[in-house]
């Protein structure tokens, strides 16, 4: 009898220990789960644009040229969603926007179009060309992304450069971001040097940002601010500066050096724009796509005000925190949610804070098990243990977390591994991490708030990605750090108070 009780107690202890252990090692599914939609029979749902309409419904467009309204899209059972076709016959639409004038604006391959349902049957009755001042050469990759309104009320679009042959000759304005006056239809040149600017978005405060894909003259994928008059590195579209209607006259193609570090180019190209952050290849995807600010007010979790960025190849969504340092937006990127059904192109938030994600891998390779699809990412209300923000300091970084930290586990310098590296601007397709340095963590201080950690290191480097890995990080409640890596792009090093590492 005593032996049986002892065995039972041991077995109970083992079960309890295993249960406790498994509870500590959390997964993304524990906090954010996926909901998958089944499209109507015969519909190829290659979602290339997503829009949260003012009436609460979701609108999407497809690469095949169709536009749908999704009713009941936020229902717990996705089979209750109803797809109503709003329009068809468009030319590779890659973005939607609902304007206060009641029109839906759509970025097609060769023009910015507006459309409107005037009889209330959820089908567009009017289609009007707003602007078609840019050209196409017949190349398959001459996409148009957007539109997004700037603070001045004009619409911005980004124009992909061609990949491969141009059967009808060099097309003007390819590799540019342009701005369109909706009243006159007039187009203005804003920025050049773009390569494959798949995502363009207006920030809550009005600045414009875009994502670009690694390739030739773009040695690492990036998120960048579209500052009017700036050059972003790719020389393909620089012939356009010779046109009389182009107000930007620099740089010339001959001014662009092949093989120099991008951090040093402002000495030769005064209007060269360094990124807000780089996405290190493979580690943070391969092909960043749409981006979306979380303006749900906490309905989607603890990341309100931060940016979510899709990746078409890795079939995942990343998270970015940015801050302004000496006039330049810069910051860190983190993993957020992987395992979507295929390559992520577009995202939109619904009324209740769920994230709709539109996907396709047609024309591009991607991870995942499906050729295209529509899913939702839903927060279940549980708080994940994550690095919430990563701030640069004069002598290192300050990390804030979503939960109180285990002070003992988080105060050990040996738990942190930090390296830095940078990239060149060159014509090769992509480029390696160069001038790599391993940094010493000189001290770690857990803040009095219990949720911040201050790292003092042996010297920040301006113009470098600083890659951080944390080993054994735990919250006060014992849960492990869900994503223990962060990538901060330091463009400017702030002034201010330093800490004595002693």
Domains present along the chain, CATH in parentheses:
31-379 (2.120.10.30), 387-490 (2.60.40.1220)
Strands 104-107 and 96-98, how do they pair?
Answer: antiparallel
DSSP type of residue 29:
G
State in Å, rounded, how far the first CA of the chain is from the last one: 60
Q: Are 147 and 107 in contact (CB under 8 A)?
A: yes
Q: Give the model confidence (pLDDT) of 267-286 as tens digits.
A: 999 999 999 999 999 999 99
The whole-model pTM stands at: 0.94
- Mean of the pLDDT values across residues 135-157? 93
Residue 99's alpha-carbon distances to 207, 225, 326, in angstroms, are 18, 23, 34
Residue 153's alpha-carbon distances to 124, 129, 179, 183, 470, in angstroms, are 24, 18, 10, 10, 44
Q: What percent of the chain has pLDDT over 90?
A: 84
- Mean of the pLDDT values across residues 274-299? 97
Angle at the Cα of 32 from the Cα atoms of 29 and 37, rounded to 5 degrees: 95
Give me the pLDDT at residue 281, please: 96
Q: Give the model confidence (pLDDT) of 178-208 as tens digits.
A: 999 999 999 999 999 999 999 999 999 999 9
Give me the pLDDT at residue 502, please: 60
Q: What is the DSSP string of 383-407?
A: PP--EEEEEEETTEEEEEESS-B-H
Distance (Å, whole) CA 135 – CA 107: 14
Q: What is the DSSP string of 266-299?
A: GGT-TTB---SEEE-TBBTBS-EEEEEE--STTT
Q: Are 222 and 276 in contact (CB under 8 A)?
A: yes
Q: Give the model confidence (pLDDT) of 26-58 as tens digits.
A: 899 999 999 999 998 999 999 999 999 999 999
Give me the pLDDT at residue 497, please: 72
DSSP type of residue 265:
G
- Mean of the pLDDT values across residues 291-317? 97
Q: What is the DSSP string of 191-236?
A: EE--S---EEEE-TTS-EEEEE--BBTB-SEEEEE--TT-B-S--G
Judged against a pLDDT cut of 50, whether residue 236 lies above it is answered with yes
Q: Are 122 and 58 in contact (CB under 8 A)?
A: no
Give me the pLDDT at residue 24, please: 58
User: CB atoms < 10 A from the CB of 77, how many?
Assistant: 8
Band (pLDDT 50/70/90 cuts) for residue 501 is: low
Q: What percent of the chain has pLDDT over 70?
A: 94
- Mean of the pLDDT values across residues 150-173? 92
Give me the pLDDT at residue 4, please: 43
- Mean of the pLDDT values across residues 411-423? 97
Beta-bridged to residue 487, according to DSSP, are 333, 467
Give me the pLDDT at residue 500, please: 67
Q: Give the model confidence (pLDDT) of 432-464 as tens digits.
A: 999 999 999 999 999 999 999 999 999 999 999
């Amino acid at each position: 009898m005593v032996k049986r009780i002892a065995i039972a107690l041991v077995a109970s202890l083992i079960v309890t220990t295993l249960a406790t252990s498994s509870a500590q090692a959390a997964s993304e599914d524990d906090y954010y789960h996926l909901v998958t939609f089944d499209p109507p029979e015969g519909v190829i749902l290659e979602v290339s644009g997503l829009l949260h309409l003012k009436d609460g419904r979701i609108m999407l467009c497809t690469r095949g040229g169709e536009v749908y309204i999704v009713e009941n899209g936020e229902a717990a059972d996705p089979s209750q969603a109803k797809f109503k076709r709003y329009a068809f016959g468009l030319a590779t639409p890659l973005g939607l926007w609902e304007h206060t004038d009641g029109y839906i604006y759509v970025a097609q391959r060769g023009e910015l179009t507006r459309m409107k349902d005037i009889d209330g049957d959820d089908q567009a009755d009017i289609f009007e060309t707003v602007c078609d001042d840019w050209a196409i050469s017949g190349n398959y990759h001459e996409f148009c992304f957007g539109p997004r309104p700037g603070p001045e009320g004009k619409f911005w679009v980004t124009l992909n450069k061609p990949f491969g042959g141009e059967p009808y000759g060099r097309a003007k304005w390819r590799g540019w971001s342009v701005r369109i006056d909706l009243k006159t239809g007039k187009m203005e040149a804003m920025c050049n040097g773009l390569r494959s600017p798949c995502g363009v978005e207006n920030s809550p405060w009005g600045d414009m940002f875009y994502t670009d894909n690694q390739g030739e003259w773009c040695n690492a994928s990036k998120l960048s601010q579209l500052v009017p008059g700036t050059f972003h590195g790719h020389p393909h579209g620089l012939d356009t500066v010779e046109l009389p209607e182009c107000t930007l006259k620099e740089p010339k193609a001959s001014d662009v050096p092949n093989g120099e570090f991008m951090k040093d180019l402002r000495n030769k190209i005064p209007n060269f724009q360094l990124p807000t952050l780089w996405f290190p290849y493979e580690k943070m995807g391969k092909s960043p796509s749409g981006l979306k600010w979380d303006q749900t007010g906490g309905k989607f979790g603890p990341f309100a005000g931060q940016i979510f960025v899709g990746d078409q190849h890795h079939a995942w969504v990343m998270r970015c925190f940015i801050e302004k340092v000496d006039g330049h937006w810069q910051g860190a990127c983190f993993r957020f949610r992987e395992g979507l059904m295929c390559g992520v192109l577009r995202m939109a938030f619904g009324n209740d804070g769920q994230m709709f994600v539109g996907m396709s891998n047609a024309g591009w390779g991607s991870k995942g098990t499906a050729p295209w699809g529509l899913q939702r990412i839903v927060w279940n209300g549980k708080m994940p243990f994550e690095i919430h923000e990563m701030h640069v300091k004069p002598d290192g970084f300050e990390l804030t977390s979503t939960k109180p930290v285990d002070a003992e586990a988080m105060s050990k310098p040996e738990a942190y591994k930090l390296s830095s590296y940078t990239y060149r601007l060159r014509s090769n397709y992509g480029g390696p991490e160069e001038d790599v340095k391993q940094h010493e963590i000189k001290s770690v201080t857990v803040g009095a708030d219990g949720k911040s950690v201050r790292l003092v290191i042996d010297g920040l480097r301006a113009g470098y990605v600083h890659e951080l890995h944390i080993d054994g990080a735990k919250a006060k409640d014992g849960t492990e750090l869900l994503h223990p890596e962060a990538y901060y792009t330091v463009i400017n090093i702030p002034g201010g108070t330093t800490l004595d590492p002693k």
